[in-house]
Structure 1
Amino acid sequence: MIGVVALGGALGALARYGVGLAAPARPGGFPLATFAINLLGCLLMGVLIVLVTEVWSGHRLARPFLGTGFLGGFTTFSTYAVDGQRLLAAGRVGVALLYLVGTLVGALLAVVAGMALTRAVTGTRFSERAGNGGSR
């Protein structure tokens, strides 16, 4: 189990690093790469959670590999905090607040959107889960 999570985490961290290289933030500028990574990761987590809890009973290692591993390595709370601190230190209070609050609100909305989109595409409903474990 540890190896599966570690492999997923390494792959997710490499993906995040690649996005950061492709879209580096300007000093004092809005950290768009980290913002996009965290929102995309939350959207994908919403998709994953519906798939593994309501749609299919995939391999027992799928959720730790993809969720805790890959998406845990892909998203980054620590960089989010450091980016916010750097914006504040640069006197960019408005940008910092937009980034900090926007990430939190956007992340929650992304999870909900990922779950709703996956349910719409797969034809499952949350209420089905309680009754029969969802569509299989």
Structure 2
Amino acid sequence: MIALLCLAGGAGAVVRHVLDTGLTRILPETARPLSILFVNIVGSAALGLVAGSSDAAGVVLGTGFLGSFTTFSTAFVDVWRLLLASRRTAAVLYAAGTLLLSALAAAAGFAVGGN
């Protein structure tokens, strides 16, 4: 089980990196944090879907893959970067949006998953 968690965690991190890099290339510089916001919303919804699963596949997918796919820390480094660029309003909106939209996505996934 530990090996599967490690493999899934590595895969989640790679998928996040590829998705973030791809979105960052097509987004304007000022919209850069939106790629991580997208990742966190998608990951939160997916985690909500599998949250009630206690079988091995659910644990590996939820804890391993989605745990490393989503990234609270990167989101708030992006908030800090916005603050350093004197984009205070954008920083507050991004932080609040990340929390609210990710929570709503998780709730929606939870509801759809029948948990």
Question: Could you tell me which amino acid in structure 1 is paired with residue 93 of structure 2?
Answer: L
Residue 41 (structure 1) aligned to one of 40, 43, 51: 43
* 2:105 paired residue number: 110
Deviation at 1:94, TM superposition (A): 0.7
**1:39-87 Cα distance to aligned partner (Å, 9 max, x none):** 110100111114x15xxxxxx4213310110001100111111101000
Larger helix proportion of the pair: 2
Runs of at least 4 residues off by over 6 Å: none
Deviation at 1:113, TM superposition (A): 0.6
Aligned equivalents of 1:6 and 1:103: distance in 2? 26
In structure 1, the gaps of 5 or more residues are 54-59, 120-125, 127-136
- TM-score w.r.t. the length of structure 1 is 0.76
* Aligned-pair identity (%): 39
Q: Tell me how many residue pairs correspond in the alignment.
A: 113
Between structure 1 and structure 2, the one with the greater Rg is 1
Question: Could you tell me which amino acid in structure 1 is paired with residue 23 of structure 2?
Answer: A
* 1:66 paired residue number: 61
- TM-score w.r.t. the length of structure 2 is 0.89
**1:19-58 Cα distance to aligned partner (Å, 9 max, x none):** 11111165443511100100110100111114x15xxxxx
Aligned equivalents of 1:117 and 1:62: distance in 2? 18
